[in-house]
Amino acid sequence: MANYAHPETLVSTDWVAQHASDANVRIVEVDVDTKAYDEGHVPGAIGWAWNSQLCDTVRRDILPKDKLEELLASSGISNNTTVVIYGDNNNWFAAWALWQLKIYGHNDVRLMNGGRKKWLAEGREVSTEVPKPSRASYHATGPDNALRAFLPQVQAALDAGNYKLVDVRSPQEFTGEILAPPGLPETCQRGGHIPTARSIPWGKACNDDGTFKSADELLALYGGEGVDGSNPVIAYCRIGERSSHTWFVLKYLLGFNRVQNYDGSWTEWGNLVGAPVERGQAASTAKA
Amino acid sequence: MTDMKVEDYRERRVELAGWPVNLTTYRLGEVYHTKADNVSPGAALARTTGATAEEAEKKAIERAEQMLARTRVQKAEG
């Protein structure tokens, strides 16, 4: 696929249509809007809710290892299953789910290129039937925290100056004009961005049909902002799902080795007392 | 019947409460579904249904306008 560094991490809608019922394949839908799955999904796909099944529901964190093992086992997924994830908003939370599966060491997990949008736009079949897969056995490894940035690492990276910080939110969130995507709840006390961050909105990595742009286009997009893989990269957004989309692009489509998703993101940084904040467009050169 | 084809898929862009909004509408069986999302960054604002595309879109537009009207815009220096 389009000369990507790791083309094995993407499948097309055609591939899903042909392989969704294969014994060793499990299709999973993960949406921002958790009602979307109920409306109709890829036949045979199971649905995971990001806000109850893919996070710790007590403290702010990703899913603990034992809960992830339980989720996968109850979803009929073993360590050898090919997991294909897709979702709305061009795979926002699908990428979030893939990121977590990689943190816990699942080898073969892929995104359906174009996500739910492309499947619907192509006039394909959807189902309201919820599959009941036979229980499997699953043993996670990790967590591999090399894929994840925590606040102290971001602060250290800022001090060291050798990291590339990529803010993937909208330009208005980056400048501080708005504190959340239009229409969504504000989750921070201050607007702006982490000093030195480059503004490269996540959606710039996608074509109109929801698929990812070619490797050459992606290299030009990120390289034009000085993000070329020669420095470690930390991507962030508001709560970490849009940045997991960019994390996927940088790590698997472009093959950058050192890419971390800062899932604390602006909801954490924008609420810190005394944290440095930059406002305005000074560092923003990627226009919407 | 649990399996249906997606039909009459269409997308259009409108401006609501000063923000660009993408409306996606399609039919599943006898029901039209509309999703309204803000174009950048693409977050879902409303998901509605109706007996016609117009009815589903009208509901989505009303709900999206209500949500977008709450957005506070601040002056960004720099």
**What are the residues whose beta carbons fall under 8 Å from the beta carbon of A281, sequence distance 6 or more?**
A171, A174, A175, A199, B76, B78
Judge whether A180 lies within some domain.
yes
Same domain, A22 and A124: yes
pLDDT-based confidence at A34, cuts 50/70/90? Answer: confident
CA distances from A19 to A28, A197, A249 (A): 13, 41, 24
* pLDDT, tens digit (0-9, with 9 covering 90-100), for A107-147: 999 999 999 999 999 999 999 999 999 999 999 999 999 99
d(CA A286, CA B11): 26
Is residue A284 over pLDDT 50?
A: no
d(CA A181, CA A189): 14
d(CA B78, CA A103): 38
As for how many domains chain A has, the answer is 2
| Domain end point (choices A92, A111, A144) | A144
Q: What is the pLDDT of residue B77?
A: 62
pLDDT-based confidence at A105, cuts 50/70/90? Answer: very high
Same domain, A126 and A101: yes
Q: What is the pLDDT of residue B54?
A: 97
Provide the ipTM.
Answer: 0.90
Average pLDDT (A258-278) is 97
Q: Given CA atoms A38, A40, A45, A51 in this order, what sign does their dihedral have?
A: negative
Q: What is the pLDDT of residue A117?
A: 94
- A188 a catalytic residue: no
Same domain, A137 and A158: no
Pick among B35, B45, B47 to test the A interface (most A CBs inside 10 A): B35
Tell me the CATH number at A97. Answer: 3.40.250.10
Same domain, A237 and A128: no
Judge whether A284 lies within some domain.
no
Judge whether A184 lies within some domain.
yes
Same domain, A159 and A106: no
Peptide bond into B41 cis (omega under 30): yes
Peptide bond into A201 cis (omega under 30): no
Of all helices (H) and strands (E), which one includes residue A174?
helix A171-175
- Could you tell me which CATH number the domain at B6-68 has? 3.30.67
For residues A15 and A111, the answer to whether their CB atoms sit within 8 Å is: no
Q: How many CB pairs under 8 A join A and B?
A: 118
| Domain end point (choices A123, A144, A165) | A144
Same domain, A184 and A246: yes
Q: Where are the domains of chain B?
A: 6-68
Is residue A173 over pLDDT 70?
A: yes
Tokens of B3: 């399996």
d(CA A24, CA A255): 26
Q: Do A128 and B64 touch (CB under 8 A)?
A: no
Same domain, A16 and A80: yes
Residues of B with CB under 8 A from a CB of A: 2-7, 9, 11, 19, 24, 26, 28, 33, 35, 37-38, 40-45, 47, 64, 67-68, 70-78
Same domain, A26 and A131: yes
Is residue B39 over pLDDT 80?
A: no
Enclosing domain of residue A112 = 7-144
Q: What is the pLDDT of residue A137?
A: 98
Same domain, A157 and A99: no
A163 compared with B38, residue with greater pLDDT: A163
Q: Where are the alpha helices (DSSP H) in A20-148?
A: 36-39, 65-74, 88-103, 115-121
Is residue B10 over pLDDT 60?
A: yes
The pTM assigned to this predicted structure is: 0.95
Residue that has been written with the tokens 């102290």 in this structure: A152
